[in-house]
Structure 1
Amino acid sequence: MTSYWAAQAVGGVAFLVGITMFFNRNERGFKYQLAGYSTVMSCHFFMMGAHAAAMSVILSAIRTITSIWWRNLWVMMIFIILTLILATMKIQHPIEALPIAGTIASTWALFRTHGLKMRSIMWCSTACWVTHNIWAGSIGGTLVEGSFLLMNGFNIIRFYRMQKRGIDPFAIESKVIKEAEEKASEQK
């Protein structure tokens, strides 16, 4: 097996890891699965020679896990600055700025939003990654991000319709987030 096909096989594994992620209403489970997917994709991009994307996506994995416990503005800014510095240094073509922009947008979403708003921003981030992956020739990356674009898009519509009918698809998560925010403000 050539290194090209080995890299594509790793992309295929990432496809399998990530394909069900956006069905998850549990924000913590969603974030763990996103971090696992990002880790595998980082390996795929390093093997493909797409180092800016690889750096961006490994920072995404670390950032996603961190956002489970800390949603502070300064922690978010650290990850945005790290992404700008470490990933931007690896850019060799202008289109490689798309995954960096997508990573910054999703960083902001994971630290500052939740529910439907978070998923909507993640959808825009995914559009950046799909474009990059097509350009980079990443079969697994294009398939998985294209699937994310479709699945997350359908779920955004589904969750929006639920909210219009008075059903909060994120009720449990909203309660947990509110309690955590109240606890954090009491500790200040």
Structure 2
Amino acid sequence: MTLYWFAQAVGGLAFVVGITTFFNRNERRFKLQLALYSLIIGLHFFLMGANAAGMSAVLNTLRTLVSTRTRSVWAMLVFIALTLGLGLPKVRYGVELLPIVGTVASTWALFRCSGLTTRCVMWCSTACWVTHNIWLGSIGGSLIEGSFLIMNGLAIVRFHRLIKQGIDPFVTENRALPVQVPGR
């Protein structure tokens, strides 16, 4: 097996791991599954020679894991600075800026947003990544990010409909629902 096909197989593994990420309503499990996906796809990008995307994906892994523990603005700024500082010098073509822009956007989403807003910002980030992956010729990366774009888009529509019906789809079993008294 050549390095190219091994890299594509790693991208395929990332596809399998990441396919259900955005349907997860539990924020912690969502972030942990996203971190695992990011680690595997980062390896895929390094194997494909896309070092800026690989660096962004590995930073995504660390960032996502840290975001499960804190929502600190300082932590967010550190990861944005790392993304820019480590990613920008590796850019050879303008399209390689897209994973960096997507990573900065998703970093902001994971540290400062929740629920539906997180999913919407992540959808925009995914649009950056899918464009880059198609340009790169990454079969697994294009499939997974294209799937993320569709699946997250469908989840956003579904969650939005639930919210319009007065149902908070992001309330977990551990949190009590707010009691609304009619007429107040």
For the aligned pair, the TM-score class normalised by the smaller chain equals over 0.9
Give the aligned partner of residue 180 of structure 2: none
1:171 Cα offset (Å) = 1.5
Shift of 1:174: 9.6
Q: Higher helix fraction: Structure 1 or Structure 2?
A: 1
Q: What is the CA–CA distance in structure 2 between the aligned matches of 1:17 and 1:27, rounded to whole Å?
A: 17
- Which residue of the partner structure matches residue 57 of structure 1? 57
Q: Which structure 1 segments of 5+ residues have no match?
A: 177-188
1:26 aligns with 2:19: no
Aligned in 2, Cα 1:173/1:103: closer, same or farther, shift over 3 Å? Answer: farther
Give, as a single letter, the amino acid of the residue that structure 2 aligns with 1:8. Answer: Q
CA distance in 1, matches of 2:34, 2:135: 23
Q: Which residue of 2 is the match for residue 69 of structure 1?
A: 69
Gaps of 5+ in 2: 177-184
Distance 1:59 1:151, change over 3 A: same
Distance 2:141 2:124 in 1: 16
Per-residue deviation, 1:156: 0.1
Structure 2 CA distance, aligned partners of 1:173 and 1:102?
31
Deviation string 1:1-48 (CA, Å, 9 cap, x unpaired) is 111101000000000000011110000000000000000001000000
Structure 1 distance, partners of 2:54, 2:171, is 35
Aligned positions, number: 176
Structure 1 Cα separation of the partners of residues 173 and 114 of structure 2? 9
Shift of 1:89: 1.1
Instruction: State the 4+ residue runs in structure 1 displaced beyond 3 angstroms.
Output: 173-176
Q: Tell me, yes or no, if the aligned pair for 1:26 and 1:173 is still in contact at 8 Å.
A: no
Shift of the 131–54 alpha-carbon distance from structure 1 to 2, 3 Å rule, reads same
* TM-score, normalisation: structure 1: 0.92
> Structure 2 matches for 1:101-180, cutoff 5 A?
101-172=101-172, 175=175
- Aligned equivalents of 2:164 and 2:123: distance in 1? 20
Amino acid at match of 2:88: T
Look up the match of 2:10: 10
Structure 2: how far apart are the matches of 1:122 and 1:88?
Answer: 21
Amino-acid identity (%): 62
Structure 2 equivalent of residue 183 of structure 1: none
Q: How far apart, in 2, do the equivalents of 1:65 and 1:174 lie?
A: 21
- Alpha-carbon distance, 1:132 to partner: 0.1
Q: Is the 8 A contact 1:39 1:61 kept in 2?
A: yes
Tell me how far 1:159 sits from its aligned partner.
0.2
- Cα distance in 1 for partners of 2:98, 2:9 equals 23
Q: How far apart, in 2, do the equivalents of 1:170 and 1:3 lie? A: 42
What is the Cα deviation at residue 79 of structure 1?
A: 0.2
Q: C-alpha separation between the residues in 2 aligned to 1:23 and 1:167?
A: 16
